[in-house]
Structure 1
């Protein structure tokens, strides 16, 4: 049986990159088993933040990041990792930081993997 997973790509060496070094990419995969209960929580979070004008964008981001670091990545990365090691404007075909986080949240909610992940996993088989 093959469980679906998704990844986030973080820069390992942001300080060195700012001094002219090439970025080193670290791929962190979601935990292998994401329960139905966790998927339901993701749907609830999506419903809570979508169109919510009472929460600031910063509060929405914190809620999504807290959920992803704890539930989707099982504590393998922290909120600081996401805020400090993912480029805001993006660097891959996954899009900017906001789109990457939303994509992972949608994955947890629906199981829909990015094409990049599907292709990467297909090459490993």
Structure 2
């Protein structure tokens, strides 16, 4: 079998319990084994758009870009394994922007974080 790179994202599994003070349970979602190069091109376009917004303050434009990034991660990269609403509701806020950006970067550049490389090696 081919040694294709994969990435993952973790979302809170038991949101209602956590909101009532319960212990967090995370569910890990893996990218599909194959992501077409076309998706990488789209990710690169999104990164370029994001770079153009870096100098702006919080605005409607930034919110729209956030929606675009969330939609891309949920529907193009993870192919509907979870919804955009799941990202907004179940992704831990302090890490959300970095996590979403890492997903886009993984697809556009093929870069995996060190922890994902170790985790992927264990899966083989």
Q: Provide TM-score, normalisation by structure 1.
A: 0.88
- In the TM superposition, residue 49 of structure 1 has moved relative to its aligned partner by 2.2
Say yes or no: does 1:14 pair with 2:15: yes
**Take 1:114 and 1:38, find their aligned partners in 2: how far apart are those partners?**
19
Match of 2:108 in 1: 109
Match of 2:80 in 1: 75
**Take 1:45 and 1:20, find their aligned partners in 2: how far apart are those partners?**
36
Match of 1:38 in 2: 39
- Answer 1 or 2: which has greater helix percent: 2
- In the TM superposition, residue 18 of structure 1 has moved relative to its aligned partner by 2.2
Give the gaps of 5 or more residues in structure 2.
none
Q: Provide TM-score, normalisation by structure 2.
A: 0.89
Runs of 4+ with >4 A deviation: none
